[in-house]
Amino acid sequence: MTAESLIELNGIERTFILGDSKVHALRNINLSILPGEYIAVMGPSGSGKSTLLNLIGLLDGPDEGTYRLEGRDVTTLDPDELAAVRSRRIGFIFQSFHLVPRLSAACNIELPLTLAGIPASERTTRVSQALKEYGLEDRAHHRPNELSGGQRQRVAIARATILRPAVLLADEPTGNLDRTTGEEVVRLLEALNAQGMTLIVVTHDQALGARARRQIRMEDGGVVSDITSTESPVQAT
Amino acid sequence: MRILDTFRFAGQAATGTPLRTGLLILAMSIGVAAVVILTALGDGARRYVVGEFSAIGSNLVIVLPGRSETRGFNPANLVTSTPRDLTVDDAAALLRLSGVERISPILIATTEINAAGKLREAMLLGTNADYVRVRQMKMGLGRFLSKDEVGHGSAEVVLGALIRQEIFGAENPLGKTVRIGDRRLRVVGVLSEGGRGMGMSSDELVIVPVATAQAMLNTNTLFRILVEARSRDQLGEVKTRVLKMITQRHEGEEDVTVITQDAVLETFDKILNVLTLGVAGIAAISLAVAGILVMNVMLVSVTQRTGEIGLLKAIGATSGAIRRLFMVEAILLSLTGGMVGVGLGYFGASILRQLYPTFPAYPPLWAVAAGFGTALLSGVIFGVMPARRAAQLDPIQALSKR
């Protein structure tokens, strides 16, 4: 099982120092995540779920413990190597979309390709393909402020997935959207998961969390429950 | 990230805030334009003075009475207090030296010219027939003074263009009689307009034979002796010979100053170059201020774009890539400012030349290069700190900010 794991966390500890008090954001986290899983991480504010997400996304490192991504120990990598891994293997989706306001939808989607140094001709074809897939063709040259919330999140999802990452990390992806558009975005993410992309969603929303096959509940920096729905075909293996 | 993409992204970032970018470019360009215009002024002054001296004539050695006299023209020189005066005989003796082509004795005084019922003040110049060639002047009408034996002042006068116009108007003055001081003189020629040199215009001169002038002023001293060497190479030898001859004639006392035009030019050249450098330095201060402004704008930009920087890091930008993005943006800003500034500077200099056509206010190339270079350099230097700050941002904190 270890060999097949996409993400393998062992004894992860993370403490922050706020003023003169120590905050234990993560305590002794042991997680094994398989490729193609659909996971919801839930818990109250300050339970460490965002810290966990940042850690999995390589934006933050553990104080103790090991993290293996696709069998490779990523805790020892230098910052530039981490950036390369983030670029190719991890996609981020944020509650507030984080689109670059002065760039058009197409340019926002193109950004990871540009940063990865992919030639312009290839970028154009991949971006136009992504625009088609996400139904944004007629919005390609609009700036984020000319787009609706749902469209903005679709641009953000297109940007996160343009380099075909192994893991998609979504932090409250529907937090800034109304119910209908939120539903749309979730279906989009689930479709990507159905194509084999591992999806990890951090959310407060019980209804959204309930849709995931595996639900991880956190409190005070520790995992308190890790339930996998039995009817899930993925978990059966 | 590819270099071209880096430039494109940085360019978009700069144009994303048009007002701020525009103001910054304006500040930078004013600094560069100040350097360009002020050095154009300084260098123009240098060229103007050098031009004035060149107009005296080439290959010239100038003999002044007195040691190391540097006052230039001064009426006090006429009632000179030097031990021995320069005389017409001294001038005649210099003509016999080898390597000397021509000589021109010079006597200058203010006087009044009176003709056709009109009275005007004028500058009286007493000299000989060779003066016109020594000074490379052009005749507008008639001829210059005739070659007469030294000591026999003929009653001839050559008028400056302005004097002729104010006294005779459109009338032909040749052959007419004018009264200068207590003498009646016949007009034999008129100088062409626009002759200059030694800081005075030839348009207001009345030129008479040196003997006539001496008689009119009741003096036998000279103001200057101009000696023209046969060639430029002989200038040095001629200078030594002239000094030796005068010293000999003045009973072994070296009581004259002999200067060559080159020496005078060199001095002025040096002084005015230093002046130009000085004003360029002052203008460069405004460039440094503009550089600090670049830093300020970039720091504000880093703060405003914190979220964007966090995002770029999350989607795989290395710290190096982010540092380059901000450096390139600072460089682009100062580069554009520099280019606009050079353009403004040339434009300003051309307006100066339009306003003062005699003043050659061309910006020297070194100053343009230095101004532009300083702009670019300050962009680079003052871009480092903001770029480093951007690269060091913690992505998690950056992303949580909006």
**What value does the mean pLDDT take over residues B62-71?**
68
Amino acid making up residue A149? G
Q: How far is A96 from chain B (nearest CA, A)?
A: 8
pLDDT given for residue A203 in this prediction: 92
The Cα B20–Cα B26 span in angstroms is 10
Q: Which of B13, B308, B315 shows the shortest C-beta gap to A115?
A: B315
**What value does the mean pLDDT take over residues B255-270?**
79
C-beta separation of B36 from B348 below 8 A = yes
Percent of chain A with pLDDT over 70: 95
Residue B21: its H or E element:
helix B18-54
C-beta separation of A8 from A67 below 8 A = yes
Q: Which of B241, B293, B238 is nearest to B260 (CA)?
A: B238
Percent of chain B with pLDDT over 90: 19
Long-range contacts of B261-265 (CB under 8 A, 24+ apart): B261/B53, B261/B54, B261/B56, B261/B57, B261/B58, B261/B60, B261/B62, B262/B235, B264/B53, B265/B50, B265/B53, B265/B54
pLDDT given for residue B195 in this prediction: 65
Q: Which of A96, A115, A120 shows the shortest C-beta gap to B316?
A: A115
pLDDT given for residue B152 in this prediction: 67
The Cα A2–Cα A70 span in angstroms is 10
Q: How far is B3 from chain A (nearest CA, A)?
A: 9
Residue B67 scores a pLDDT above 80: no
pLDDT given for residue B289 in this prediction: 85
> Is A79 part of the contact surface with chain B (CB cutoff 8 Å)?
yes
The Cα A171–Cα A95 span in angstroms is 6
Residue A223 lies in a domain: yes
Task: Return the residue in B7, B315, B392, B397 with the most chain A beta carbons within 10 A, the one to mutate for interface testing.
Answer: B315
Residue A22 scores a pLDDT above 80: yes
> Is A184 part of the contact surface with chain B (CB cutoff 8 Å)?
no
pLDDT given for residue A119 in this prediction: 93
Residue B356 phi, psi dihedral angles, 5° rounding: -125, 85
The Cα B261–Cα A104 span in angstroms is 69
Say what the ipTM of the complex is.
0.90
C-beta separation of A216 from A187 below 8 A = no
Residue B251 scores a pLDDT above 80: no
Residue A166 scores a pLDDT above 90: yes
The Cα B276–Cα B368 span in angstroms is 13
Residue B390 scores a pLDDT above 90: yes
Q: Which residues of B touch A115 (CB under 8 A)?
A: 1, 312, 315-317, 321
The Cα B268–Cα B98 span in angstroms is 30
> Is A111 part of the contact surface with chain B (CB cutoff 8 Å)?
yes
What are B152's two structure tokens?
């026999």
- Going through chain A in order, the beta strands assigned E by DSSP cover 7-18, 21-33, 38-42, 64-69, 72-73, 90-93, 167-171, 198-203, 214-219, 222-228
Residue A1 lies in a domain: no
What average pLDDT does chain B have? 84
Query: Quick one: closest CA in B to A159, which residue?
Result: B315
Q: Which of B13, B307, B318 shows the shortest C-beta gap to A98?
A: B307
> Is A98 part of the contact surface with chain B (CB cutoff 8 Å)?
yes
Q: How many CB pairs under 8 A join A and B?
A: 69
Residue B376 scores a pLDDT above 80: yes
Residue B401 scores a pLDDT above 80: no
Q: Which of A15, A28, A112, A116 is nearest to A61 (CA)?
A: A15
CATH number of residue A208's parent domain? 3.40.50.300
Query: B72 falls in which pLDDT band (50, 70, 90)?
Result: low
C-beta separation of B363 from B345 below 8 A = yes
Residue A80 scores a pLDDT above 70: yes
Which residues span the domain enclosing A188? 7-236
The Cα B194–Cα B173 span in angstroms is 19
The Cα A205–Cα B396 span in angstroms is 22
Residue A162 scores a pLDDT above 80: yes
Higher per-residue pLDDT: B66 or A162: A162
Could you say which DSSP state residue A163 is in? T
Residue A12 scores a pLDDT above 90: yes
Helices B319-355 and B18-54, axial angle in degrees (round to 10): 40
pLDDT given for residue A233 in this prediction: 46
pLDDT given for residue B270 in this prediction: 85
> Is B315 part of the contact surface with chain A (CB cutoff 8 Å)?
yes
Higher per-residue pLDDT: B94 or B254: B94
Task: Choose the most confident range, by mean pLDDT, from A116-130, B34-48, B233-247, B256-270.
Answer: A116-130
**What value does the mean pLDDT take over residues A32-59?**
92
pLDDT given for residue A121 in this prediction: 92
**What value does the mean pLDDT take over residues B72-95?**
67
Higher per-residue pLDDT: B313 or B96: B313
pLDDT given for residue B239 in this prediction: 85
Residue A111 scores a pLDDT above 60: yes
Residue A234 scores a pLDDT above 50: no
Amino acid making up residue B306? T
Q: How far is A229 from chain B (nearest CA, A)?
A: 31
What are B276's two structure tokens?
């130009």
Residue A76: Cβ within 10 Å count:
10
Q: What is the model's pTM?
A: 0.72
Q: Which of B325, B319, B337 is nearest to B376 (CA)?
A: B337
Query: B136 falls in which pLDDT band (50, 70, 90)?
Result: confident
pLDDT given for residue A237 in this prediction: 36
**Number of structural domains in chain A:** 1
Residue A17 lies in a domain: yes
Q: Do B314 and A84 touch (CB under 8 A)?
A: no
pLDDT given for residue B358 in this prediction: 81
**What value does the mean pLDDT take over residues A13-40?**
91
Q: Which of B224, B263, B258, B254 is nearest to B238 (CA)?
A: B258
Residue A87 lies in a domain: yes
Residue A2 lies in a domain: no
For B35, residues 6+ apart whose C-beta sits below 8 A from its C-beta are B280, B283, B284, B287, B341, B345, B367, B368, B370, B371, B374
Residues in a beta bridge with A169: A92, A200
